[in-house]
Structure 1
Amino acid sequence: MNMTAAQAIVECMKRETINQVFCVPGESYLPVLDALYDEPTIRVISTRHEGGAAFMAEGYAKAALKPGVVLATRGVGATNLSIGVHTAYQDSTPMVVFLGQVHSKFRGREGFQEVDLDQFFKPISKWAVEVKDPERIPEIVQRAFRIAKSGRPGPVIVSLPEDILPVEREMSFGPVIQRPKPAPSETETNQVKQLLANATSPLIIAGGGIKLAKAEELLVGFAERFTIPVMTAFRRHDVFPNNHPMYAGHLGLGTSKKILQLVQDADVILALGTRLSEVTTQDYTLINNDQKLIHIDIEHDIIGKVYPPCLGIISDLYEALEMLQRIKVMPSWSVWAGKCNATYREVSDIPPSEDDVINKHIIHMLANKLPKESLLTNDAGNFAGWLHAFYPFTEKHTYVGPTSGAMGYGMPAALGAKLAYPSKIVVSLSGDGGFMMTVQELETAVRESIPIIALVFNNNMYGTIRMHQEIHYPKRVMATDLGTVSFVDLAVSIGAVGYQVDSLSQFESALDQALMSQKPTVIEIRTDKEQISVSSTITQLRNR
């Protein structure tokens, strides 16, 4: 069919069933915006900053389990959204980024806003390409979507010189392929059986590959059948129900030493769909050479990247768990699993006391008041420690968090997640530092009628950095104190609802009203600087 290169890009989106696109508009890709004008099935969300657009697309992709799409202009827009690309890369999130580029005749002359985009993004993307022939748009864009969602998902960058977009050509489209799903061989399945047959204390570490494969129910069935305890990798809480008797905790920042000891007590570890990141493995120290590691992942580069496995299997996790369900192993590890679950409950099922800081009370209240299928997102910061330690994720698709640790992520990601699940209550948790990095997207929420609830834990400082500062340079406070911001006034000024709370009763009232509202709502929670983390105060850090 005859169409412009810009129209061909939109046609590729339609074939991939893309119905949400995030952008900051730019003159370098106006023909694409014009083509989107004629496509009623795709909603274009214009944001206030490219970083916010990329976080929204990443949060949408994590929730919807389909590629997030972002558009931005040339070097200035591209560099602004690079934080979201890096997050998608580290978090294994499918994303396709279309970037307007300077005119082909101006390339290499340091044209206006020129950056060599494919080379700029190459280290933090699965593939980065610049299209030079308009007739190849269908081939390259369809390949971009295929790469983004196949194997270990991730971001793909497509650079579009502005002169090719309005060019009309006869376009030819290929089929939309299904995501490849390799399975373990019979030999590999028998090897797993043999390793488990000789195990005394096996343990599963489950990562994002479970969610991407939609294998949550299979993982529960596998754990139940063989009574093997399950821990979740960093910020992958919702891949296994936290109230299940086989659950043994979350491996992240500030994980209890008692839970870490369980990992070290295991003799066989099944790492399922996890890259065994620095945080999950506590700075790559958690697993030792005496343990037998079975590592199953869809991406061959992941296996052996951190720890050499006793057995490495390249497989989709749904296919792997289906195969492993059929093996027959005589040992039962119910006593070991019971010990692991009891340890987890000992450190997490602690109701807040009057002496506890408001953060813990609020997490406890969220767990009791929010519907179980509600979806939570979080920003980077120490405030998230209370969420990770005390909020029970009991349903799948209820959590979206940045394993990259990017500040400014929580609220925009919540907007993307809400667009993926309009019927769910979506709550974001942020510190005042991170919230201010993308606060402008609150206006996007108002303009686009995306009703999320944004909690802001305000202690007027960059708390995580202050904690490390006090550990390494006690009392020498530098660059971590922040000024006073009225988040209520800020919210109200752009049409959102705002509350400021100092007590649990005030928070409960604000939350009740927010749950009944259909407007974006900000609840500012004023917190004490002294309680700088779940386990320590500033005074305690200084005394150490």
Structure 2
Amino acid sequence: MTPQYPARTGGQVLIDQLIRHGVDTVYGVPGESYLAALDALHDASVRMVVCRHEGGAAYMAEAHGKLTGRPGVCFTTRGPGATNALVALHTAEQDATPLVLFVGLVPRGHTDRRSFQELDLRATFGACAKRVETIDDAARIPEYIARAFATATGGRPGPVVLGLPEDMLTDTVRVSDAAPVPEPEGAVSTSQLDALAELLDAAERPLLVLGGSRWTPGARADLRDWAEAWSLPVAVDFRCQDLLDNDSEVYAGALGYGRSDALATRLRDADLLICVGAAPGDVTTDGFTLLTADGTEPRVVLALPEAGAPGLLRAPDLTLLAAPQAFGLAVRNLRPAAPVAWAARTKEDRAAHLAHRAPVHDDDRLDLGAVFAELDFRLPHDTIVTFGAGNHALWAQRFLTYRDGARQLAPRNGSMGYGIPAAVAAAIAHPGRQVVSVAGDGCFLMNGQELATAVAEGAAPLVLVVANGTYGTIRQHQEQHYPGRVSGTGLVNPDFAAYARAFGAHGETVAATEEFAPALDRALASGTAALIELRTEGRLAPGETVARPGKEHQDG
């Protein structure tokens, strides 16, 4: 006998599937193309965060995915609304973040007629998304949702796009809900573990590099314990500084833009490279040059959640199909039989990192080295730090300590405008934790309007705007390559503190070092979203000004 399921609209079936898959928050900008889904959200346990721009909404969903390891969910309408979200899809694809974007579409009978705001989803999103599908039958919504979530989180995570024809969502169907699909973690066999042990025994200058996504608290703990048992120096990939407690004696720093010369030398000299979570890419290796110094290459071990990872110039010596959690479980009992030969060098790596992260003090009226030293001292250990792209991120990357429980939400694709939406999403997800976003004046105004969303949702992130009146990264490149010929990089800024207050947030302006600590006290005590503008003069990077542009590496 066929079970009799209750009659539901497609919109109701859709929201019921989200609940079944553990979704408690979605982000979006409303549109008439998915009114039936909005109606189903009215009585649902799912929180709808109404944003001010689809780019901000999709960034919030991407940050939610980074923070939780579960797909962030965003809703947009067709045409302009959907394409506004594309920037976050690129971020999710490059950063391996699980994300599901729902796009309301024209009615099924209107397709291929250049209807109002009609959009070819596959042509628009196919280059960035792991999967792009349109649900034409409301009875198949459970199937599509289960597949979308499994695709977004499985293997190397990434974004999935699902189209929702407007009239499909109003159809009434009788259908069962679909259960979530388990995510395979992979495994390390006994023979593979033996091969890893042999490579370690033969090594003289090993380096462990952590990156990618699918990291759990257990994986972080297991990898730290294993690395410390072997005195393995640990470097983290670009903007992955929360993968290992920075206070660990084996933590050697972060690779990529803003890395130290000492760590670059360490990677260049390694004879064994163990990469967990991500293959070494161009940013990690300075355009792959650090892997081929003097015509030699290190032996390479890859532990990845999917096969066939790009990036290496040759096949690795050992490939393990294992997510970080599976790798951590496999190696946590693998211990050295005798003291390792590289222990002294690991201490040198650690000392070099500590020297690099010591605050760089400037003789400016506002010393950003002192500002970030104060911030590092004051922030709780479980602080969530967000930032976008640009030289302003160097202070947050280099001078803040990411300890156990801390999280770093930042785009590894160098996407400007990310930090503020990410901070809003983090503050919504964890209202009891401190959230700090470090923004440049150029980066901030790409999505600064999402302060309105923070105030509306009762979220209270702290935003620091490093205002130097220029697109600093590009200005730095101009000064290096075309000295004295500044073009297209100057900015005319608003009063950022007044801008924040206009939304109902707390706003402060700091122009001198001694003003920062009292302003920080007031901002943290405000109980609402708060912004502190840090007014600098010609400061492009730590130790670098317009007059002394230097050669600091940074994106965007």
Output the TM-score relative to the length of structure 2.
0.94
Say if 1:248 and 1:341, in contact at 8 Å, map to a contact too.
Answer: yes
Runs (5+) with no aligned partner, structure 1: none
- 1:532 is aligned, of 540, 549, 553, to 540
1:522 equivalenced with 2:531 (yes/no): yes
2:20 matches 1:15 = yes
SS of equivalent residue, structure 2 residue 524: helix
Change (3 A) 1:146 1:372: same
| Structure 1 counterpart of 2:441 | 432
Contact 2:73 2:100 in 1 (8 A): yes
For 1:134 and 1:534, locate their aligned partners in 2 and report how far apart those are by CA, in whole Å. Answer: 55
Residue 178 of structure 2 corresponds to which residue in structure 1? 174
C-alpha distance after superposition, 1:425-457 (max 9, x if no partner) = 001000011100101111111111111111101
Distance 2:398 2:551 in 1: 25
Tell me which moved more, 93-102 or 250-259.
250-259
Deviates more, 1:47-56 or 1:378-387: 378-387
The alpha carbon displacement at 1:347 in A equals 1.7
1:34 matched to which residue of 2? 39
Measured after TM superposition, the shift of residue 71 of structure 1 is: 0.1
Q: C-alpha deviations, 1:126-179, integer Å up to 9, x for none?
A: 111111222111101111011111111111000111111100111122321232
Report what 1:465 is aligned to: 474
Q: CA deviation at 1:252?
A: 2.1
Q: Is 2:203 the partner of 1:199?
A: yes
Q: Given the alignment, which residue of 395, 401, 405 partners 1:392?
A: 401
Change (3 A) 1:307 1:504: farther
Asked if residue 302 in structure 1 is aligned to residue 309 in structure 2, the reply is yes
Retained in 2: the 8 A contact 1:210–1:272? no
Q: Residue 97 of structure 2: which of 93, 100, 103 is its match?
A: 93
Q: 1:475 to 1:494 in 2, by over 3 A?
A: same
Structure 2 vs 1, CA of residues 471 and 192 (structure 1 numbering), >3 Å: closer, same or farther? Answer: same
Looking at structure 2, the residues matched to 28 and 414 of structure 1 have their Cα atoms a distance apart, in angstroms, of: 29
Match of 1:47?
A: 51
Read off the aligned partner of 1:247 and give its amino acid letter.
Answer: Y
Equivalent of residue 380 in structure 2, options 363, 371, 376: 371
Q: Write the distance in 2 (CA, Å) between the matches of 1:497 and 1:304.
A: 45
1:276 matched to 2:280? The reply is: yes
Output aligned runs, 1:195-274, within 5 Å. Answer: 195-209=199-213, 211-212=215-216, 214-274=218-278
Q: Does 1:502 align with 2:517?
A: no
CA contact (8 A) 1:351 1:364 kept: no
Alpha-carbon distance in structure 1 between the residues aligned to 2:122 and 2:423: 29
RMSD value, Cα: 1.9
2:213 match: secondary structure: helix
Which deviates further from its counterpart, 425-434 or 183-192? 183-192
Q: Is the 8 A contact 2:476 2:540 kept in 1?
A: yes
Q: Aligned equivalents of 1:238 and 1:356: distance in 2?
A: 32
Secondary structure in 2 matching 1:484 = coil
Residue 425 of structure 2: aligned partner: 416
Secondary structure of the 1:441 match is helix
AA in 1 matched with 2:13:
A
381-390 or 277-286, which deviates more: 277-286
> For structure 2, which runs of at least 5 residues remain unmatched after alignment?
none
Aligned 8 A contact 1:61 1:94 in 2: yes
Counterpart residue identity of residue 272, structure 1: V
C-alpha change, 1:212 and 1:90, in structure 2 (3 Å) is farther
Q: Which moved more, 1:74-83 or 1:315-324?
A: 315-324
Provide the aligned length of Structure 1 versus Structure 2: 542
- Structure 1 pair 287–433 and aligned structure 2 pair: CA distance change class (3 A): same
Q: Secondary structure at the match of 2:227?
A: helix
Residue of structure 2 in register with 1:4 after alignment: 9
Structure-2 separation of matches of 1:259 and 1:356? 32
1:296, 1:303 within 8 Å by CA — same for their partners in 2?
no
Say whether 1:483 aligns with 2:483.
Answer: no
Secondary structure of residue in 1 paired with 2:275: strand
> Shift of residue 308 of structure 1?
2.9
Distance 1:371 1:208 in 2: 25
Verify the 8 A CA contact 1:210 1:216 in the aligned structure 2.
no
Q: In 2, Cα distance between the equivalents of 1:51 and 1:499?
A: 27
2:336 to 297, 304, 329: 329
Q: Secondary structure of the equivalent of 1:237?
A: coil
Cα offset for 1:275? Answer: 3.3
Amino acid at match of 2:408: Y
- Partners of 1:426 and 1:135 in 2: CA distance: 41
- The two structures have a TM-score, normalised by structure 1, of 0.96
Distance 1:471 1:414 in 2: 33
Q: Given that residues 361 and 368 in structure 2 are in contact (C-alpha distance below 8 angstroms), is that contact kept between their aligned partners in structure 1?
A: no
Counterpart contact for 1:4–1:165, Cα < 8 Å: yes
Mapping 1:40-119, distance limit 5 Å: 41-119=45-123
- Decide whether the 8 Å contact of 2:366 with 2:513 is kept in 1: no
State the distance in 2 between where 1:417 and 1:277 align: 28
Give the CA deviation at 1:467.
Answer: 1.2
Render the CA deviation track for 1:335-360: whole Å, top value 9, x for unaligned. Answer: 12111111111222346465696222
Cα contact 1:213–1:316 (8 A) shared by 2: no
User: Secondary structure, in 3 states, of the residue corresponding to 1:295?
Assistant: strand
Cα pair 2:11 2:37 within 8 Å, conserved = yes
Query: Would the alpha carbon gap of residues 210 and 111 (structure 1) be closer, same or farther in structure 2, given more than 3 Å must change?
Result: closer
Letter in 2 for 1:469: Q
Instruction: Provide the residue aligned with 2:319 in structure 1.
Output: 312
Deviation at 1:255, TM superposition (A): 1.4
CA contact (8 A) 1:216 1:396 kept: no
Asked if 1 retains the 8 angstrom alpha-carbon contact of 2:365 and 2:512, the reply is: no
- Secondary structure (helix, strand or coil) at the match of 1:437 reads coil
How far has the Cα of 1:104 moved from its partner? 1.3
Percent pairwise identity: 36
